[in-house]
Amino acid sequence: MKLCQFKTKDSERRRLGLAVSDEIVSDVAELARAAKTAGGVPADWLLDADSTLDVIRRGPSATQDIAALLADDSRSDQWTAYPPDSVDFLPATYPGKIMAIGRNYAEHASEGGADLPKAPLLFNKLPNALSAHGASIVLPRISGQVDFEAELAVVIGRRTQRVSEADALDYIFGYSLINDVSARDLQFGDGQWTRGKSLDTFAPLGPFITTRDEIDDVQSLKIEGVLNGQVMQSSNTSKMIFRVAHLVSYLSQGITLEPGDVIATGTPDGVGIFRKPPVLLKAGDVFEVKIEKLGTLRNPVVAAQ
């Protein structure tokens, strides 16, 4: 199941969307109202559902309720289907915290001349950086070296404390795509990474969260970063130094992970700053994160106004 948050072009109301093939079916609440009119709805909460975070917090029964809405094909003529390019996506969820992992692919560490980390290298991306599929990455006036980083995002499904690595995947709700946009001059000049990684619009997340049950092996997904149609990053999640289960377990030993929290799991090699000459984002560019089975996160780049 692929879930998202979106608005229609003529309304500011947030909707909970469900992807079916290449279309977004009308918001889940609309499906629930159609079901109720036809004689029954799986759960009353669906009538007002408008966020992925609500689904995540309700646990496994929530996705079962949504799946039940689609079980009766006789109501398909009552659904409004929106092609993805006809809506405005919102961030795939609104996490309480966005935790990111640095240098988690050996080739990326090597291209920057860094040693391989002995433990996960953790930094934060602040909530103001959160953005959506289709939204603009804004080049800030205070940086002249804005770079791209295609990454797999892990969305936590339930409260997680001191979980073992063997059980860690059971605490994940699903997976999404994130671009860890980075102001390299600030990142390297500050001596720490928070500011350079957390400027406004620097964390596009989405467009969908794919529930964990749809991904047989999260450590076997092709991942690409594409700039203006040219593949800049191409790797596989099998090349992570610290695997997803390890990251969840490691972080949870001292940091309580809450439903909806996001872990950005690191980027492969091919980022712009380490190319010769460097290839950095400029106004008019379009950057895409592509991950097998999860879809494409696309964002245009604009100058600050």
DSSP letters for the chain: -EEEEEEETT----EEEEEETTEEES-HHHHHHHHHHHT--S-GGGGG---HHHHHHH-HHHHHHHHHHTS-GGGGGGPPEE-GGGEEE--S---S-EEEEES-BHHHHHHTTPPPPSS-EEEEE-GGGEE-TTPPEEEPTT-S-EE--EEEEEEE-S-BSS--TTTGGGGEEEEEEEE--EEHHHHHHHSSSHHHH-STT-EEB-S-EEEGGG-S-TTS-EEEEEETTEEEEEEEGGGBSS-HHHHHHHHHTTS-B-TT-EEE----S--STTSSS-----TT-EEEEEETTTEEEEEEEEE--
pLDDT of residue 69: 84
Question: What confidence score (pLDDT) does residue 108 get?
Answer: 97
Q: What pLDDT was estimated at residue 281? A: 98
Q: What is the mean pLDDT of residues 71-97?
A: 82
pLDDT in tens, 137-169: 999 999 999 999 999 999 999 999 999 999 999
The residues pairing with 296 across neighbouring beta strands, listed in sequence order, are 290
Of the chain, the percentage scoring pLDDT greater than 90 comes to 85
Q: Which CATH class is domain 2-89?
A: mainly beta
Average pLDDT over residues 276-281: 98
pLDDT for 22 = 75
Q: Say what the pLDDT of residue 42 is.
A: 84
- 118-129 tens-digit pLDDT: 999 999 999 999
| Residue 270 pLDDT greater than 80, yes or no | yes
pLDDT of residue 75: 57
The ranges of the chain annotated as CATH 3.90.850.10 are 98-303
| Residue 106 confidence (pLDDT) | 96
Q: Which of 31-35, 168-172, 297-301 is least confident? A: 31-35
Residue 74 has pLDDT above 80, yes or no: no
If you average pLDDT over residues 245-261, what whole number do you get? 98
pLDDT greater at residue 299 or residue 35: 299
Q: pTM of this prediction? A: 0.96
Residue 78's pLDDT is: 62
> 79 pLDDT band (50/70/90 cuts)?
low
- Over the stretch 8-52, which tens digit does the pLDDT of each residue have? 999 999 999 998 777 776 789 988 888 887 777 888 999 999 999
Q: What is the pLDDT of residue 291?
A: 98
The least confident of 72-81, 131-140, 179-188 is 72-81
pLDDT for the residue 216:
97
Q: Does residue 77 have a pLDDT over 80? A: no
Per the prediction, the chain carries an average pLDDT of 94
How large is the average pLDDT for residues 179-195? 97
Instruction: Flag whether pLDDT at 287 surpasses 80.
Output: yes
Q: Tell me what percent of the residues of the chain surpass a pLDDT of 70.
A: 97
Give CATH 2.30.30.230 domain extents, the chain. 2-89
Quick: pLDDT tens for 207-233. 999 999 999 999 999 999 999 999 999
Distance CA 149, CA 66 (A): 33
* Domain 98-303 listed as CATH 1.10.3720.10: no
Confidence (pLDDT) at 68: 87
